[in-house]
Amino acid sequence: MENQKGQFSEDENTIDLREIFYVLRRHMLVILITGIILGGCVYVYTRYFVTPEYQSTTKVYVLPKTSTTSSGDVTNSDLTAGTQLTKDYIQLVKSRPVLEHVIAALGLDMTTAELSESITAEAATDTRILTINVLNPNPVTARDIANVLREQVSQQLTSVMNADSVNTVEDASLPTTQATPNVLKNTLLGFLIGIVVACVIYIIQYMYDDTLKSPDDVEQKLGLTTLAVLPSTGSSREEKKKQKKVARATFHKVRENS
């Protein structure tokens, strides 16, 4: 009897991957519709309720004061030091004096914290070229902020960081296409999430469904041999529910007796 219980418990905890595949295939239409609906909702929200923002970019080349020898050549140690100093330059871009000057110069209706969130600064590896990106719902404002910010940062780098020179590599241009949000990417992501959620729901339903649906279920779960199978009589939905309840009760009763 104990062996039967152990075998029953082992069979009960075994997940049939093929059966899960069949379950998902039977409900494939509903799964796809769920993905399409969620993807459509994400599209509508992203397209009509999220404010688009434009990005303008400017670049500067920073040359530290110690970067040249008496002959005017740049040494390797100075190049390394200049690369490390670039991290300090990035922090200087979002410093309060710089942001306050940009707000005052352009008459922006925003705080320094709000302006700081719209600015990103980065430097490519092993270079002293500082890239400044500005996001704003108005493309003209994004360009103006980037240019004024570059000028103010250049002054701060010369006075505060004692840089020898800060040269403009690239002026900020007027962006013509929005940078965020990415409508296509968000829509595809919503579609995939909808499919995954629907699949997970059907898999959970399958794992917690202990009803006996076929002679194979009787043999696997109860360890009994099926002698005969009654054909479906096309009963109503309520009668089918009653039959499932009876089958479930019989299943639990046999399990307790085992």
3-state secondary structure 161-218: CCEEEEEEEECCCCCCCCCECCHHHHHHHHHHHHHHHHHHHHHHHHHCCCCCCCHHHH
Look at residue 176 and tell me if it is in a domain.
no
Distance CA 188, CA 197 (A): 14
Are residues 143 and 202 located together in one domain of the fold? no
pLDDT at 116: 95
Per the structure, how many domains does the chain have?
A: 3
Do 52 and 178 contact (CB within 8 A), yes or no?
Answer: yes
Instruction: Looking at mean pLDDT, say which of 9-18, 30-39, 116-125 comes out highest.
Output: 30-39
The tens digit of pLDDT for each residue in 45-57 reads 999 999 999 999 9
Q: Which of 108-112, 151-155, 179-183, 222-226 has the lowest mean pLDDT?
A: 222-226
- Say if residue 2's pLDDT is above 90: no
Distance CA 61, CA 63 (A): 7
Which of 170, 196, 223 is the last residue in one of the domains?
Answer: 170
Domain that holds residue 154: 54-170
The tens digit of pLDDT for each residue in 217-244 reads 666 666 656 655 566 555 556 666 666 6
Are residues 65 and 127 located together in one domain of the fold? yes
Look at residue 71 and tell me if it is in a domain.
yes
Do 30 and 198 contact (CB within 8 A), yes or no?
Answer: yes
Quick one: tokens of 103?
């707000």
Instruction: Using DSSP, state whether 50 is helix, strand or coil.
Output: coil
Looking at residue 229, its amino acid is V
CB atoms within 10 A of CB 247: 15
Distance CA 12, CA 1 (A): 16
Distance CA 73, CA 69 (A): 5
Are residues 41 and 59 located together in one domain of the fold? no
Are residues 252 and 194 located together in one domain of the fold? no
Do 172 and 149 contact (CB within 8 A), yes or no?
Answer: no
Share of the chain above pLDDT 90, in %: 48
Distance CA 104, CA 126 (A): 34
Look at residue 175 and tell me if it is in a domain.
no
pLDDT at 113: 94
- Say if residue 32's pLDDT is above 70: yes
Are residues 94 and 159 located together in one domain of the fold? yes
